[in-house]
Amino acid sequence: MRMTREEILSSLDTALAEKQFVIYIQPQFNHATKQLVGGEALVRWIHPEHGMQSPVDFIPVFEDSGLIPKLDLYVFERVCEYQRKCLDEDSYTFPLSFNVSRKDLLLPDYIDSMEEIRKAYDVPVEYLRAEITESSAVMGGSEHAVEIINRFHELGYMVEMDDFGCGYSSLNALKDLEVDILKLDIKFLRGHVGGRGGIIISSVINMAKWLNTPVIAEGVETFEQADYMLSIGCEIIQGYCYSKPLPADEYHKLAVESNYM
Ligand code: C2E
Ligand code: CA
Ligand code: CA
Ligand code: CA
């Protein structure tokens, strides 16, 4: 059942204290080799009365109200906890991406707080990748975004530009920001292969190649689309054709199995 804005805002603290937020992980596959290469952590709210809530409904509410950093740090902690568990079991070694809201990055000590958490769980940065949206760049001014990315890089994090191509200034963002990976959501560009959408997608892939920046294609729902992406040089796929986001333990099973293949 959908919660109202007031319900969402007033229940954050209880929800955090009672661990109602959990991470789901959507696997990322190399479509050329069919191998798992990593995943993205996506938050879910399992509300005791209202049931499972979609981040599409509650994330914007927490963003508007300035409460999002609390939730994102909580999610980041769950990601570190998960990676620590895997490292302890020696079960696998795939990196996980996590979302950083543009509002988080306006807090001067947000990355310090992340680092405290990461150190507490003793997770090497190679296992963690920060996803920022291109609009983060516009939001605080691109100078601020450059600083943020430099800071992440100094600490050793890879930075992914999420939802590339969905904003109005993708090309500007790309010019100014030295991100390590581009995430291209083909949902917004899809159309007939060979149509305008197809031309834009393949141009982005080419441009990314020239920039030496790998691309992850998101929102890929059919293997036909995945084959098309591969044919134009984009191997990494995150989409329903392979898997929806999975509860962390299901993802874990998949990861452990694929590590022994
Ligand atoms: P996003 O970061 O762009 O994440 C990708 C979204 O696309 C996910 O939706 C995923 O389930 C969906 N998706 C993946 N493959 C497909 C596909 O083939 N077809 C379709 N139709 N959808 C696909 P989800 O999990 O509902 O998350 C929605 C958005 O909520 C995320 O978009 C992100 O902006 C935000 N979000 C989720 N978790 C967090 C979080 O921990 N912190 C913050 N700040 N935002 C989050
Ligand atoms: Ca994302
Ligand atoms: Ca995305
Ligand atoms: Ca997004």
- How remote is the CA of residue 72 from the centroid of ligand 1, in Å? 14
Asked if this assembly's ipTM is beyond 0.90, the reply is yes
Say yes or no: CB of residue 27 within 6 Å of ligand 1. no
Question: Which residue puts its alpha carbon closest to atom 15 of ligand 1?
Answer: 239
Question: Which residue puts its alpha carbon closest to atom 45 of ligand 1?
Answer: 99
pLDDT tens per residue, range 202-230: 899 999 999 999 999 999 999 999 999 99
Say yes or no: CB of residue 220 within 6 Å of ligand 1. yes
- Surface-to-core class of residue 168, CB atoms within 10 Å of its CB (0-12 exposed, 13-18 middle, 19+ buried): exposed
- Mean pLDDT across 146-170: 89
Buried b (16+ CB within 10 A) or exposed e, 222-252: eeebbebbbebebbbbbbebbbebbebeebb
- How remote is the CA of residue 43 from the centroid of ligand 1, in Å? 9
- How remote is the CA of residue 5 from the centroid of ligand 4, in Å? 20
